[in-house]
Amino acid sequence: MAVPMLQHSATFSWLISLTSFFIISTAFLSFKSNSATALSPSNDADRDALLALKERVVEDPYGALNSWNESLHFCNWEGVSCSQRHVNRVVALDLGGQQLNQLHGTIPADIGQTLPNLLGLYLGCNNFTGPMPLSFPNASGLVQLDLSGNSFSGTLPLNLGSLKGVLDISLGHNPFEPQDLRFLTSLNNCSSLKALDVGNSNLRGGSPSSISNLSSTLQILIAGQNQISGAIPSGIGNLINLSFLALQGNSIEGEIPTSIAKLTMLQTLWLSGNRISGSIPSSIGNMTQLGQLYLDSNYLNGSLPRSLGNCQNLQLLILSQNFLSGVIPKEIARLPSISISFNLDHNSFTGPLPVDLQLEDVNYDNNNANSSTRNFISEECLVAAMSIGIACSLESPHDRMNMKNVVAELHAIREKIISVKISRTHHIRS
């Protein structure tokens, strides 16, 4: 099976396993649209704010905003949810691109002031341009902000840290100007943060030690596809609730800290395509929830720790393109769960594969052979599928079709993980 296909199928299996795992913990906050018959003229402020947004949308090829007209109360406009308690106050705005890149335009700089009751703003996967507004803190109750997968420019706003109750910030996959990691530090006071996506957003420099000061409530951290340098801080072990950590495609160097093993909830560790050296710490065996381990395309050496055999949930082990040596421990071959993929190629392992290893997708090519092809391209597909927002930037229509489903799926998973959902009026057109 060709590598890209294999990795795609691995991705979908990951989605399925993660979905079923998290199906348990759901306490949805739900704010239903109210049908607000009595419209007091003094309460039109939010309608005006929505119209100001509509005015700035210059392209709407799928008519997402067609219902935003005088014949309907604005609380019934597509994507708009109003509060049940505060009549005519907009609490959620969901214009996330179901059709990729449907809306093109800018968003009003004062949107946080003009919609002060917003709890959720979802504008991901469109083509909004211009700088990111600095007024979000004025909507002080904001818990979910998704602006990922657009064409925002300028720099990441450094004032989101004053949103004390924010749970989910997704700003990844935007062509921001290069900037250092101060954005991460600026979120240190967000003591409830559960998900942060700043993948592919032009963060650069080091050291990423500010990661350790993020809230220990964090469950999802996506910062892949940037130019982050320096070593993974040993303080990463503070983030004890992390279940998904993606730092792939950066310039991270140094060794994997032993303290990473404190992340006992971690299900996915994705460090592919960095400059990480040294050996894989044997403490990795303490991460018993680990299902997907991507360490490929680094400079890891030494042998595989036997303790990996303790990771009884491991389904996917991608170690290709490193300098790993020694024999494959039989403990790993006996893992009950390695059912998806096991990729060891382009390393220096010796000896035959353990006889116990009965897998369809084992890749053990090019060991004891030096090859200069560092196969990071196929990784992109995987990066794409797993990181929310990138679907918007895929070129081929075929990929777009698939990615659209993946993005919808990721949305659902993320909501389950962070246990929050603010009445999303899904309007899927086919």
Q: Is 241 in the site for ligand NAG (CB under 6 A)?
A: yes
Cβ 6 to ligand NAG shortest distance, Å: 26
Q: How many residues bind ligand NAG (CB under 6 A)?
A: 35
Distances in Å between the Cα of 266 and the Cα atoms of 199, 250, 291, 390 are 18, 20, 8, 23
Which residue in 26, 66, 153, 358 binds ligand NAG (CB under 6 A)?
A: 66
Interface characters, 292-311, with ligand NAG (x: CB under 6 A): ---------xx---------
Q: Is 188 in the site for ligand NAG (CB under 6 A)?
A: yes
Cβ 96 to ligand NAG shortest distance, Å: 15
Interface characters, 113-132, with ligand NAG (x: CB under 6 A): x-------------x-----
CB 14 within 8 A of CB 270: no
Q: Is 71 in the site for ligand NAG (CB under 6 A)?
A: yes
Cβ 80 to ligand NAG shortest distance, Å: 12
Pick between residue 212 and residue 272 the one whose CB is nearest to ligand NAG: 212
The neighbour count for residue 48, using CB atoms within 10 Å, is 11
Side chain identity at 382, as an amino acid letter? Answer: L
Sole window of 79-87, 206-214, 222-230, 397-405 interacting with ligand NAG (rule: CB under 6 A) = 206-214
Q: Is 348 in the site for ligand NAG (CB under 6 A)?
A: no
Q: Is 210 in the site for ligand NAG (CB under 6 A)?
A: yes
Pick between residue 9 and residue 309 the one whose CB is nearest to ligand NAG: 309
Tokens representing residue 318 in the block: 């991608």
Q: How many CA atoms lie within 13 A of 177 on its CB side?
A: 7
Cα–Cα distance between 227 and 242 in angstroms, integer? 22
Pick between residue 7 and residue 267 the one whose CB is nearest to ligand NAG: 267
Buried b (16+ CB within 10 A) or exposed e, 113-141: ebbbbbbbbbbbbbbbbeebbebbbbbee
Q: Is 106 in the site for ligand NAG (CB under 6 A)?
A: no
Q: Is 373 in the site for ligand NAG (CB under 6 A)?
A: no
Pick between residue 315 and residue 322 the one whose CB is nearest to ligand NAG: 322
β-sheet with 323-326: strand ranges across: 277-278, 299-303, 323-326, 348-349
Q: Which residues bind ligand NAG (CB under 6 A)?
A: 66-67, 69, 71-72, 101, 104, 113, 127, 137-138, 151, 161, 185-186, 188-189, 209-210, 213, 216-217, 240-241, 258-259, 261-262, 277, 283, 286, 301-302, 370, 372
